[in-house]
């Protein structure tokens, strides 16, 4: 694991943390087994299409 050689200042720490940004989940349309059209996050698309995930 990388270990810093020197202490990082509070200003630099906060500036680094400020670069991180959350993004909304990518949504995709899926046909559920019961014929209903659902808009779900892409990572759950297969589960909804197979009927494994329940709303």
Supply the pLDDT for residue 19. Answer: 87
CA distances from 50 to 25, 29, 54 (A): 20, 14, 10
* The token pair that represents 10 in the structure block: 């509070």
* Runs of H (alpha helix) within the chain: 10-17, 45-50
- Domain residue extents for the chain: 25-54
Helix, strand, or coil here: 29?
Answer: strand
Q: Is the pLDDT of residue 54 over 80?
A: no
For residue 6, the model assigns a pLDDT of 94
Output the pLDDT for position 1: 85
Per residue in 1-51, pLDDT tens? Answer: 889 899 999 999 999 888 888 889 899 999 988 888 999 999 999 998 888
């Amino acid at each position: 694991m990388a270990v810093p050689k020197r202490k990082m200042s509070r200003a630099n720490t906060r500036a680094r943390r400020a670069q991180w940004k959350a993004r909304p989940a990518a949504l995709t349309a899926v046909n559920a087994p019961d014929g209903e059209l659902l808009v779900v996050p892409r990572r759950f698309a297969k589960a909804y299409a197979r009927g494994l995930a329940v709303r």
